[in-house]
Amino acid sequence: MDTEETRIFYTILIASAVLATLVGFFVANIIRHQRKKMALEKEKLVNEILLLENERGRIAADLHDELGSLISAIKLNLECLDAPGEEDAQILARTGGYIDTTMQKIREISNNLMPKSLQRKGLYPAIKEFADMINHSAAVNVRYHGSDNLPSIESDKAIHLYRIVQEISNNAVKHASASKIDIGFSMVKNKLLLEIKDNGTGFDSTEAAKKQGHGLQNIMRRVDMLQGSVYLDSAPGKGTHYSIEIPL
């Protein structure tokens, strides 16, 4: 190439390099901005969920300690009353029964908000008690099983796993009309595997993943907070199978 052609070639080459650098810088800024935005959104979500759990704990304590104590005092005072007649005695007896039912409902609501067994005994006994509670309160057969080598789970992770089990199981009972639910924990390499299967009506898992209703969003958010992964297998009339892997 002659001198003029060489000059033009190097000018184009330099301009291309500058343009590529500017484009690269622009793209890098966009990616950095998106990552920062995602990190802020995730931090906001984590704070919202932590705030929600703290509020649930406070309400559960108020229900159990404050309202529960007040109703117990009412029951004691009621038992001290002498009924002047048979009809009045029956009214007092029925009222006492209503109070007992109210106390039981308060305990159930308090336990759903923040299970005592989760705080006292840990994740696996709390899940077992949750399964037993569903068995006694609904026409559903819930089976819980866990392998022998299960590790202890930190309290902050345990509450997320408990809520995941709670959400999936409640959805199976309320929306899928399931009569059988299997809940299991096992270890796969260095990951905790949670599997939940039901024989409910099922759904189109592809469409559900696209739409992500409120329940599925809650599950995905908590799994994401645990840096885990979700595998969902479901089809209309064939039940639903969740496989959730959590790194430890």
Alpha carbon dihedral 40, 41, 43, 49, in 10-degree steps, equals 160
User: Contact at 8 Å (CB) between 134 and 140?
Assistant: yes
Which residues, 6+ apart, have CB-to-CB distance to 208 below 8 Å? Answer: 216, 232, 234
d(CA 216, CA 142): 21
pTM of the model: 0.70
Contact 139, 177 (CB under 8 A): no
What percent of the chain has a predicted confidence (pLDDT) above 90? 21
Rounded to whole angstroms, the Cα distance separating 174 from 141 reads 14
Residue 38 confidence class, pLDDT cut points 50, 70, 90: low
SS3 246: strand
Q: Where are the beta strands (DSSP E) in the chain?
A: 141-146, 180-188, 191-198, 229-234, 240-247
Residue in 109, 129, 121, 123 with CA at minimum distance from that of residue 60: 109
User: For residue range 118-167, what is the model confidence (pLDDT) as tens digits?
Assistant: 888 899 999 998 898 888 876 889 999 987 788 989 888 899 999 999 99
Which pairs with CB-CB distance under 8 Å and at least 24 residues apart come from 40-47? Answer: 42/224, 45/221, 45/225, 46/225
- pLDDT, tens digit, 9 for 90 and up, residues 177-219: 889 999 999 998 889 999 999 998 988 766 665 556 667 888 8
Radius of gyration of the chain (CA): 28
